[in-house]
Amino acid sequence: MEDTGIGLWGVPLAIFAGAIRVSTPFIFVSLGETITERSGRINLGLEGTLVFGAMTAYAVAVMTGSPTLGVLAAMATGAIFGTIHGWICKWPKVNDIAIGIAMMQFGLGLAFFLGKSFIQPVAPKLPSIPLGGWSATPQVQAALNINVLFFIGAALALFLWWAFRNTRIGLILRVVGDSTDAARAMGISPDRVRLLATAAGGSLAAIGGAYLSLYYPGSWNEGISSGQGLMAVALVIFARWNPIGCFLAALLFGGAGALGPALQSVGVTQGYYLFYAAPYVLTLIILIATSSPTRSLAGAPGALSLTK
Amino acid sequence: MTAETNDPGLPIAAGGQASLRPLLEWLARRAEPVAIGLVAILIGLALFSLFILAIGKSPVTLFQLMYTGGFGSWFSIQNSLSRAAPLLLTALCVALPARLGLVIIGAEGAVVLGGVAAAASAMPFVGVVPPIMLFVFMAIAAMVVGGIWIGFAGFLRHYRGVNETISSLLLAYIAIALMNQFVEGLLRDPASLNKPSTKPLPKEYMLGHIPGMDVHWGLVIGVLACILSWVLIEITSFGFAARIAGGNVRAAQIQGLPVGKLIVGFTAIAGGFAGLAGMIEVAAVQGSANASLAAGYGYTGILVAFLARHNPLAIIPVAILLGGIAASGGLIQRRMGLPDATVLVLQGTLFIVILFCETFYGRFKIFNPDLWKRS
């Protein structure tokens, strides 16, 4: 055990810092998936979008020297992936869950293919805001060094929560998600709304990827994602399609994900891999606890194939 | 006679033609998936060619290399068949639940845990029992563990309403973490330094090659599993009940079919096959359980099953085709300087196009004999 000066207090502090650090990609992917699922589609391909976004952001940041441009480029590719998914799924007899699996494999393959030459170079990182200046302890300062994207994600969660209730676009999205027929009766084209919602969702998921490659862990390689894109889909169910819920659930998952490294840093190495599985076990337990075989989930969009 | 009852409009005078009609109808119905599947593959290959052109390489050279590397020589054919063996079993892990309307994508988890169970169950018996007995023990252990793993996803689906696609994938991640824990801890062979593994099987306890071929017995096991699955689905009443439940759960329940038992049973059998793939990897390829078990066979198996439209017999040629594509990856990398992910891009493109082409089913009159004489 290294001399940290704060002893076992390092564990909760590391979990807190980890929760913030690890949760940011979850926040963006789950908010994106919330928008998509609220429109009545499910996009399981966000894992591929996330990894492709991570690759794009890293490559563009290496080439232009600007991490912000990297994030914007990632958003654009994410929107393209979402548009493809949305366009294919508008055809009859096409299964959105299966297309999502295919898009995931395609996105991963394309990211590994195009990203091969970017494994070596170092990209500039996204800026973070040091909020720990008041403390003299370096661990506290490090823990409160929080990335800009975390705050943007938090603000976005609040905004979406408000927008789903109070804006015309939010209402249209919910109508389409709850009943395709009602939307048609109102003169709304469900396919177009779903296509745009999937594109928006993909673009947000790609920001999550950009965070992975440009901030934490801050490098591009083929193992950059450990299933964040998929777990976010489960997280949306747990959060009951509520953006604020997504934000809180993402923090919980981030904390679970930080458990293993935090314990390892104070010398607990037994069962390291089991702690590594903690977020997956937590997701599964939450899914089991909140699902029911007899009734559909509270808050679930009516047209969603996931809960049928 | 049957033709005339099917279509009263047919003139009786044309008796000779009428007797051909059942055959034509049968052919037309069978031709639909084959024709649409082939067209989908052609569209997929065309899109992939555009991609290869866009990065400034020749798709013609690529496809030639793919053929040479996959099926061009006896050596490459054997290589493709070896790679197809685990895919046969992991594709069954997707196809069997799919007949019940479930999308299970976590075969990878059953593969790795099946491999660990096989390696662990072999330990006390090496040198005690003859090899054939050892293989039986290993296979049983792997199938039980794999069956429990995927069967659990089926159980959660029916009795708890948990989406099986997500739960099976979470279980796959958990399984890989468990495997790492086992091979680095409890079951680790202290002699394995760089790559933590279980104790390797002695050479005489390895599953050998098919006589006259450089392909291990896993291929035969995989093909047998596909044939058995076909019989199970198409001929037995268990399979018939499963197909009804897959078509309409409510109707199956009204008929008094035990839907829950069917779902758990089918997912457990499916997981058993994927576990068997892990056992074959350990007994025929790796010699021990280690991180190489998570080689992605479970994920390629999803593609194989969807390509084969969840028909166990169609899985055999599709798995060999994809095994060939995978086998050619090394050659493409060496000769054209393309990354190894080229194969993944091709697989992903094919997968998307094939699912998209589902929309063409039932749109062409030529495949639907009921509509032939109406126009």
Tens-place pLDDT, residues A271-280: 778 888 888 8
- What's the CA dihedral at B93, B94, B99, B101 to 10 degrees? 130
Q: List the one residue out of B51, B27, B122 whose CA is nearest residue B366.
A: B27
- pLDDT score at A121: 84
| ipTM rounded to 2 decimals | 0.90
Interface check B98 vs A, CB under 8 A: no
Closest chain A residue to the Cα of B179, Cα to Cα: A273
Average pLDDT over residues B319-326: 93
Structure tokens that stand for A78 in this block: 């994410």
Residue A3 has pLDDT above 50, yes or no: no
Task: Tell if the CB–CB gap between B177 and A93 is shorter than 8 Å.
Answer: no
* Residue-averaged pLDDT of chain B: 90
Contact state of B303 with A105 under an 8 Å Cβ cutoff: yes
CB contacts < 8 A (A, B): 140
Domains present along chain A, CATH in parentheses: 7-302 (1.10.3470)
Please report the pLDDT score of residue B330 as a whole number: 87
The string of pLDDT tens digits covering residues B18-71 is 578 888 888 888 888 889 989 999 999 999 999 999 999 999 999 999 999 999
Give residue-wise pLDDT tens across range B236-283. 999 999 999 988 888 888 888 999 999 999 999 999 999 999 999 999
Contact A307 B345 (CB under 8 A): no
pLDDT at position B15 is 47
Which comes out higher in pLDDT, residue B9 or A211?
Answer: A211
Query: Mean pLDDT for chain A?
Result: 88
pLDDT at A206: 97
Its pTM stands at 0.89
Question: Which chain A residue shows the shortest CA-CA distance from B167?
Answer: A284
pLDDT in tens, B184-240: 888 888 888 788 899 899 988 898 899 988 899 999 999 999 999 999 999 999 999
Confidence of residue B3 (pLDDT cuts 50, 70, 90): very low
| B50 in contact with A, Cβ within 8 Å | no
Contact assignment for A271 to B348 by CB distance below 8 Å: no
Q: Evaluate whether B273 touches B100 at the Cβ level (below 8 Å).
A: no
CB-based contact B177 A226, cutoff 8 Å: no
Residue B366's CB: how many other CB atoms inside 10 A?
11
Other residues' Cβ atoms within 10 Å of the Cβ of residue A137: 14
Nearest to A94 among B344, B347, B358 (CB): B358
Angle, CA of B39, B42 and B44, to the nearest 5° = 110
What's residue B18's pLDDT? 57
Which pairs from B125-131 meet CB under 8 Å and 24+ separation? B126/B201, B126/B202, B126/B205, B127/B202, B131/B204, B131/B205
